[in-house]
Amino acid sequence: MPKKIYEPVGHHYIVEASGCNPKVIGSIEKFQDILVKAAEIAGAKVWAISFSKFPPSGVSGVVVISESHISTHTWPEQKYAALDIYTCGAHVDPEKAVVYAVEAFGASSSHITEITRGINEGDMKFFHSFVTWEEDLKKHMSRASDK
């Protein structure tokens, strides 16, 4: 008889966003607004926000949510943003936050790894699994405008 697998504890998304708009990912205000809205779109409750600017033009920040966190660092001079979203609880949808944020960054492509964390077969020995995919966002947008 196969073991029962219980609901995982959380979902962790690691996002590499390339071709981003440097004016967006280099602005503390714009970037912070995007990540707070991403949390809200996912259905998460925001508890604390902390963002800082680093030379030459990068932004680092964290949005602490009831369900865990959204953290980031950007390299506007390379048009690159690294994004980390971890949530627990069945009432949030972190994938909505990922989609919103990557589009709001103006990214042309993204490489995303989703890690399902805290998987348990009833023996209280937790493990994780992951899937990875890439999106060429500019191709999707041009196909959508052709329709």
Tens digit of each residue's pLDDT, the chain (147 residues): 566 767 899 999 999 999 999 999 999 999 999 999 999 999 999 999 999 999 889 999 999 999 999 999 999 999 999 999 999 988 999 999 999 999 999 999 999 999 999 999 888 899 999 999 888 876 544 444 454
Instruction: Identify the DSSP state of 106.
Output: T
Instruction: Identify the DSSP state of 107.
Output: -
In 3-state terms, what secondary structure has residue 48? strand
pLDDT at 102: 97
pLDDT at 135: 81
CB contact set of 38 (below 8 Å; sequence gap of 6+): 70, 85, 96, 97, 98, 100, 101, 104
pLDDT at 89: 86
DSSP H helices in 26-72: 28-42
**Interatomic CA distance for residues 106 and 108, integer angstroms:** 7
Nearest to 136 by CA among 114, 101, 112: 112
Largest CA distance in the chain: 58
Catalytic residues: 68, 73, 88
Task: Give me the architecture of the 10-146 domain, per CATH.
Answer: 4-Layer Sandwich (3.60)
Residue the block writes with tokens 């949005």: 63
pTM of the predicted model as reported, rounded to 2 decimal places = 0.87
pLDDT at 138: 62
